[in-house]
């Protein structure tokens, strides 16, 4: 069954790609959406009838198709693994993916490349499902590279636009940096464990423990120590930083908004960019063996969350605001993984998929209704023109802001509490990270309120320029066009309603015990997630605690009253952020934001000056003009010229006249006679 979950979208991609142009939009829409619907139905069926009925702790379903690579002791199978972690992922990948496919049939209606777009989108679904269901690091890497390829194709979908082409190339190149780290990490992992599999296997009658089983038996490497577990974890984390847009490899994601909005919702909010979090959680047994790696993951995640949030508050492109918000929320997820709360990170992955897909699709509805206008400074007062878009986006806004009883509240609050109470890192550091995360939550509420206020409330600004009584607005090209906002068709706003419902109820699977819940998702995921050991007291030479001791310590550290107090603090911060955003931007919606933030701290310019331009200059001025043209080409051309000149000279020896040859023979004979005479 697992193979059809993945192969249904692949078949859809092939049909759309080869037959779609000839058979038209209806055929493509039916095939593309139908194939993902089949995948979703099978995913839910497998989850609820194959996985859940299994006893807790034994929820593992595998499907082996064939041995893909076998060289010496190295073996990688083409096999799928369904367990609580991959099962959670395939549910929201297929569910949210289907809603986005349906939405896209309306958004992309009339586009010349309609068939091509859905072929790419279906191919992405196949690759993403392969990524999360692969039972080893190598097959996961196939899906990993596959979603990277699809991302490149979809970001650059508008091939006639230079902006799209540049963004696609940027995403491709930046991700290659991360993927290089991933590939080296896989090699080091195999060298260490002689396995790349996530499950124990019997080969030739011999039990071969998985790399995760072997990793769990390794001693914990303390902060400051740099052993083999730290090396593997950090190499894999380099790959995760590239795919999930963490500092310093985050620069590709905001530019990726050059692609169609459904792409932004599916790939760059709900699925592909969370692959790095999936990899980190899947390899939690490796990461928890290195407190240095956990520390780096947590610090990078917290810094990225805060850094991107400060940029998001000053962006004016509605999709760019959401892009930096995505980078920030991904930082939250990695912060959770870094403090040992992997299940909280995955919980936030799920809720984020709901409300961020909702916000991106809502933004697409706004852009559609505003005739491709994306600048929120040229909007305002749209709630009366787009009631469904407004109501649904309002749910997403409140959910991401952390308003109580919505999905984002539960997952964000769990990360904050787990960060504060973590014993996996130094206490002073966890408190600092908590303050950073709380400040990020405040900024999130502020910039999302700014987006909503400038888009839906206040004075209409799309008619600010008037000429002879006609309402007009100036576009980026300087042309004047009348804009008449309108609501999107049902095929676009109905998926928004469904996502809004999920953004309301999706968090209730993670209600903690402090609030009368059982934290079902943590309980469900815990058998496949490693527990982080408490900090090693290196000053007194204390040994690493076992996983069971870690669980006991965490349980003892859990203070229900304190958790409720901290939840109250986060609620106050959420409402404070909304209040500040509302107060600041209803009074002065077009207030000037700091240029440093508007220009994104000039990170792209710094990268250009420090990395890109030197490489271009070296390539152009030395490698090409000197090494290639003058040295290599010069040497080859010089040799060719030498032989040419030699041939040109020697051709005079072949005149075709017998008397010339006789004269040459005579001269030769005379030379020989003289030589022997004088000798």
Which of 35-49, 68-82, 169-183, 221-235 comes out lowest in average pLDDT? 68-82
Rounded mean pLDDT of 126-145?
96
The answer to which of 23-37, 59-73, 423-437, 446-460 has the lowest mean pLDDT is: 59-73
Token pair, residue 221, equals: 């490497």
Give the pLDDT score at 623: 84
Distance CA 208, CA 160 (A): 52
CA-nearest of 67, 293, 23 to 197 is: 67
Using CA atoms, how far apart are residues 260 and 83, in angstroms rounded to an integer? 33
Beta carbons of 273 and 244 less than 8 angstroms apart: yes
Give the pLDDT band of residue 636 (cuts 50, 70, 90). Answer: very high
Q: What was the pLDDT predicted at 185? A: 97
- 242-278 pLDDT, tens digit per residue, is 999 999 999 999 999 999 999 999 887 778 999 999 9
pLDDT at 560 over 90: no
CA-wise closest residue to 280 among 240, 340, 328? 240
| pLDDT tens column, 466-486 | 333 333 333 444 444 567 899
Give tens-digit pLDDT for 570-598. 999 999 999 999 999 999 999 999 999 99
Q: Which residues are within 8 A (CB) of 45 and not within 5 positions of it... i.e. 6 or more apart?
A: 1
| Structure confidence at residue 472 (pLDDT) | 37
Residue 18's CB is within 10 A of a number of other CB atoms, namely 12
What is the mean pLDDT of the segment spanning 634-640? 91
Above 60 in pLDDT, residue 552? no
Mean pLDDT for all residues in the chain: 90
Q: Which two tokens stand for residue 576?
A: 């404070």
Which pLDDT band holds residue 383 (cuts at 50, 70, 90)? very high
**DSSP letter (8 states) at residue 599:** T
Say how far apart CA 616 and CA 165 lie, in whole Å: 18
What average pLDDT does this structure show over 512-523? 88
Task: Please tell me the total number of residues recorded for the chain in this structure.
Answer: 679
- Does residue 155 have a pLDDT over 80? yes
Looking at residue 548, its pLDDT comes to 46
What tens digit of pLDDT does each residue of 86-109 get? 999 999 999 999 999 999 999 999
pLDDT attached to residue 57:
87
Q: What percent of the chain stands above pLDDT 90?
A: 77
CA distances from 626 to 512, 615, 622, 641 (A): 66, 15, 5, 19
| Dihedral over Cα of 631, 632, 633, 639: its sign | positive
| Share above pLDDT 70 across residues of the chain, in percent, rounded to a whole number | 94
Q: How many of the other CB atoms lie within 10 Å of CB of 623?
A: 14
Cα–Cα distances in angstroms (integers) from residue 191 to residues 96, 137, 212, 232, in the given order: 38, 13, 14, 10
pLDDT at 481: 54
pLDDT mean over 31-52: 97
Q: What is the mean pLDDT of residues 452-460?
A: 94
Distance CA 118, CA 609 (A): 38
The C-alpha R_g of the chain, in whole angstroms, comes to 31
Whole-angstrom distance, CA of residue 554 vs CA of residue 550: 6
Distances (CA, A) of 513 to 416, 438, 522, 556, 566: 15, 22, 11, 14, 14
- The pLDDT confidence band at residue 464, using thresholds 50, 70 and 90, is low
Q: CB of 42 within 8 A of CB of 91?
A: no
Tens of pLDDT, residue by residue over 316-332, are: 999 999 999 999 999 99
Q: What is the mean pLDDT of residues 161-181?
A: 94
Closest by CA position to 33, among listed 582, 593, 494: 494
Average pLDDT over every residue of 372-378: 93
């Amino acid at each position: 069954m697992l193979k059809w979950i993945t192969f249904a979208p692949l078949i859809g991609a092939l049909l759309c790609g080869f037959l779609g142009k000839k058979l038209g939009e209806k055929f493509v829409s039916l095939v593309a959406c139908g194939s993902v619907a089949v995948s979703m139905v099978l995913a839910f069926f497998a989850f609820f009838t194959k996985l859940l009925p299994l006893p807790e702790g034994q929820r593992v379903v595998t499907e082996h198709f064939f041995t893909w690579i076998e060289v010496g002791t190295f073996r990688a199978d083409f096999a799928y693994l369904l367990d609580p972690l991959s099962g959670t992922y395939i549910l929201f990948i297929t569910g949210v993916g289907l809603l986005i496919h349906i939405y896209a049939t309306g958004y992309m209606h009339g586009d010349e490349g309609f068939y091509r777009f859905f072929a790419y989108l279906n191919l992405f679904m196949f690759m993403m499902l392969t990524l999360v269901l692969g039972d080893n690091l190598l097959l996961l890497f196939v899906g990993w590279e596959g979603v990277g390829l699809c991302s490149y194709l979809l970001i650059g979908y508008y091939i006639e636009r230079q902006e799209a082409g540049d963004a696609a190339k940027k995403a491709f190149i930046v991700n290659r940096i991360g993927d290089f780290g991933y590939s080296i990490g896989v090699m080091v992992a195999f060298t260490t464990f002689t396995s790349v599999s996530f499950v124990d296997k019997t080969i030739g009658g011999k039990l071969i423990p998985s790399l995760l089983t072997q990793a769990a038996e390794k001693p914990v490497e303390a902060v400051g120590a740099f052993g083999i577990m730290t090396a593997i974890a950090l190499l894999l984390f380099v790959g995760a930083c590239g795919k999930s847009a963490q500092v310093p490899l985050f620069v590709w994601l905001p530019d990726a908004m050059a692609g169609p909005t459904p792409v932004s919702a599916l790939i760059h909010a709900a699925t592909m960019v969370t692959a790095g979090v999936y990899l980190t959680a899947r390899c939690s047994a490796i990461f928890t063996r290195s407190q240095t790696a956990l520390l780096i993951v947590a610090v990078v995640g917290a810094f990225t969350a805060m850094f991107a949030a400060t940029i998001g508050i000053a962006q004016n492109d509605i999709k760019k605001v959401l892009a930096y918000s995505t980078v920030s929320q991904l930082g939250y997820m990695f912060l959770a993984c870094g403090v040992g709360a992997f299940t909280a990170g995955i919980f936030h992955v799920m809720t984020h998929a709901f409300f961020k897909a909702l916000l991106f699709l809502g933004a697409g509805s706004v852009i559609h209704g505003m005739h491709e206008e994306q600048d929120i400074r040229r909007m305002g007062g749209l709630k009366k023109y787009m009631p469904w878009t407004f109501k649904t986006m309002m749910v997403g806004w409140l959910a991401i802001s952390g308003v109580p009883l919505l999905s984002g509240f539960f997952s964000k609050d769990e990360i904050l509490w787990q960060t504060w109470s973590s014993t996996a890192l130094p206490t002073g550091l966890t408190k600092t990270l908590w303050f950073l995360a709380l400040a990020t939550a405040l900024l999130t509420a502020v910039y999302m309120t700014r987006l909503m206020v400038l888009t839906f409330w206040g004075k209409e600004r799309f008619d600010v320029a008037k000429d002879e009584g006609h309402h007009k607005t100036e576009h980026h090209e300087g042309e004047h066009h009348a804009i008449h906002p309108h609501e999107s068709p049902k095929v676009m706003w109905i998926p928004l309603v469904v996502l809004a419902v999920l953004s309301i109820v999706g968090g209730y699977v993670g209600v903690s015990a402090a609030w009368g819940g059982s934290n079902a998702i943590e309980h469900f995921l815990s058998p496949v997630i490693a527990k982080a050991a408490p900090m090693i007291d290196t000053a007194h030479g204390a040994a690493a605690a076992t996983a069971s001791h870690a669980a006991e310590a965490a349980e003892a550290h859990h203070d229900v009253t304190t958790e409720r107090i901290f939840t109250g603090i986060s609620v106050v911060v959420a409402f404070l952020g909304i209040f500040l955003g509302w107060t600041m931007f209803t009074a002065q919606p077009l207030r000037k934001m700091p240029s440093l933030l508007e220009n994104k701290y000039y990170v792209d310019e710094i990268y250009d000056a420090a990395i890109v331009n030197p490489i271009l200059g070296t390539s152009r001025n030395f490698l090409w003009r000197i090494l290639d043209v003058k040295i290599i080409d010069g040497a080859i051309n010089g040799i060719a010229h030498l032989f040419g000149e030699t041939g040109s000279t020697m051709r005079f020896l072949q005149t075709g006249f017998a008397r010339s040859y006789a004269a040459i023979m005579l001269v030769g004979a005379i030379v020989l006679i003289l030589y022997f005479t004088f000798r």
